[in-house]
Amino acid sequence: MTLLALVLVQVPMIALTAVMLLLAFALGMVFLFPPQVMMVRELAELNRRLVRDWTGIDIEPPYLPPPLPPVPQADGMYRSERTLYRTPRVPAWNNRWKWLVSDPATWRDEVWLLFDPLVKVVLLPVLVLFPGPGLRLYGRWSRWLLGATAAGRLAGQVSHLRRTRNLAADSQAAEMRRIERDLHDGTQARLVAIGMTLGAVEQLVETDPGAAKALLAKARDASSETLTELRRVIRGIHPPVLAERGLADAVRALAMDSPLHVTVDVDLPHRPEAPVEAAVYFAVSELLSNAARHGDADTAIVDISTDGADLRVTVTDDGLGGADPARGSGLAGIERRLAAFDGLLALHSPPGGPTIVIMKLPKVLPDHWAGNLPRMPRWKSVTVMLLWATAWCPTFPQGLVAAVFKIFGVEEKTWFLALHLPEPWQWPVILGMVSLGVIMHVMAIRIPAAHDRGCFMAEAQPGKPWCP
């Protein structure tokens, strides 16, 4: 059967995988790790297809979604942890490395590759004598190691929802920029036409007052239409100050243009992502507009701060109060805008005022902005140090070097444990030593990677800060 014939590919793949992992983690040739992982994944996917064809058992791929392509910051640079790059090549490679090394399915594939040939040999009599039950049993084994776990499905769903949310927010921002272009092309043309009309009026005012009066009426009508159009689209314009200088300066500029006396207090160590900035900016703009038009307010206070990974915005005005989202005051639109980020809006607006609006966008900021990322426990740090300090011994002198001595028949046994054992035990001990060394190297990588997995996956986007 094809499943059994796959062993002919798996055995040399095991040797190649062992060599590439050793070179990647023991000798620092990390560029070999991603292609090694992808080769094993291709082989695992082939096995899934064969199991589905022969047994009808559908094995869902367990891999976490790949990171999004790097995007430039406002200054055009690309960030990878604490380093800036002019091109996205290095950040993309770093993101891909973190994605592969922190995905549990990567290491489950490696375990499957190592033990699957042995499982097939053990099940060979059952597969020959009782093909149906044997294939079902092998299918269960494959699904156990190669199938998606509940945690993997949940992580995939969370990643998908986050990506969908960002796409929706990006689409909204793109639509706002489109409106800005329409305003530039449409309203500007109207204003130019009004200017030309007024120029004609200057020429006709003395020679043909009647025609000049008619042109002035047309200019007045055109200005009224232009003003109406401006009022309709002004709320949807993406202000350049927001894109160029960030949320803090954009809100301060908004306060200067407001008819109210607005005090702005912003405490943000870094800029949030562009969709988050846009959502907060337009929400604050709508609230200040409501306070001036409907609340008859004189002063307002805008406070933007962080609460761990949450972004918190409070807008307070001294208006008449009585704000109600059900009465079409624009609050419902703000709630819909915040919903794209799982945001919440709390309103306190008793009759007579004041009106207090609190907006909270959860988990839109990196955790370490608040300095509360949990560090790896001391015992884990000591374990990792011991693994790195001792993994070389079973890998090289007791494993690979002993194997070379064995292959070439070198009589010198020195301190190679396997060579002092009886002949039938020498190769099993050598292979065991190499396997032990590989496992120790993998554990030395996996312990800190598992500790920082959430940080790695959350910060796959460039421009997000590093994890300690």
Residue 249's CATH number: 3.30.565.10
Whether 376 and 450 have beta carbons less than 8 Å apart is answered as: no
Do 312 and 264 share a structural domain? Answer: yes
Single-letter amino acid code for the residue at 338: L
Do 141 and 44 share a structural domain? Answer: yes
Neighbour order of strands in the sheet with 299-307: 261-266, 299-307, 310-317, 355-361, 344-348
Q: Which CATH number do you get for residue 217?
A: 1.20.5
Domain end: 138, 166, 194, which one?
Answer: 166
Task: Say if 340 falls within a structural domain.
Answer: yes
Domain end: 166, 198, 226, which one?
Answer: 166
Do 360 and 255 share a structural domain? Answer: yes
Q: Phi/psi class of residue 330: alpha, beta or left (left: φ > 0; alpha: ψ in -120 to 50)?
A: left
Do 185 and 115 share a structural domain? Answer: no
Would you write out the chain's pLDDT as a tens digit for each of its 468 residues? 677 788 888 888 999 999 998 888 888 888 899 999 999 999 999 999 988 888 888 888 888 878 878 878 777 888 877 788 888 888 888 888 888 888 888 999 999 999 988 888 888 888 888 888 888 888 888 888 888 877 777 777 777 677 666 656 665 666 667 677 767 766 777 777 888 888 887 877 777 788 888 888 888 877 877 777 776 666 566 677 888 888 999 899 889 988 899 999 998 887 888 888 888 998 898 899 888 888 888 999 999 998 878 899 999 999 888 887 776 557 877 887 787 777 888 998 888 888 999 999 988 886 555 444 556 788 888 888 999 889 888 888 888 888 888 888 887 777 788 888 888 888 898 999 989 988 988 888 888 877 665 454 444 443 444 444
The residues facing 80 across adjacent strands are: 83
Domain span including residue 59? 2-166
Contacts of 280 (CB under 8 A, 6+ apart): 247, 251, 272, 304, 311, 313, 359, 361
Whether 340 and 165 have beta carbons less than 8 Å apart is answered as: yes
Do 146 and 26 share a structural domain? Answer: yes
Task: Say if 45 falls within a structural domain.
Answer: yes
Do 243 and 356 share a structural domain? Answer: yes
Do 227 and 104 share a structural domain? Answer: no
Do 140 and 56 share a structural domain? Answer: yes
Do 176 and 159 share a structural domain? Answer: no
Single-letter amino acid code for the residue at 80: S
For residue 355, give the H/E element and its range: strand 355-361
Task: Say if 465 falls within a structural domain.
Answer: no
Task: Say if 466 falls within a structural domain.
Answer: no
Predicted TM-score of the model (pTM): 0.43
Domain end: 166, 183, 215, which one?
Answer: 166
Do 411 and 300 share a structural domain? Answer: no
Q: CA angle, corner 453, sides to 452 and 458, nearest 5?
A: 100
Do 429 and 405 share a structural domain? Answer: yes
> Helix count (H) and strand count (E) of the chain?
16, 7
Task: Say if 177 falls within a structural domain.
Answer: yes
Strand, coil or helix: what is 452? coil
The residues facing 300 across adjacent strands are: 262, 317
Give the count of domains, the chain: 4
Task: Provide the angle, in degrees to the nearest 10, between the axes of the packed helices 240-257 and 274-293.
Answer: 20
Task: Say if 354 falls within a structural domain.
Answer: yes
Do 351 and 228 share a structural domain? Answer: no
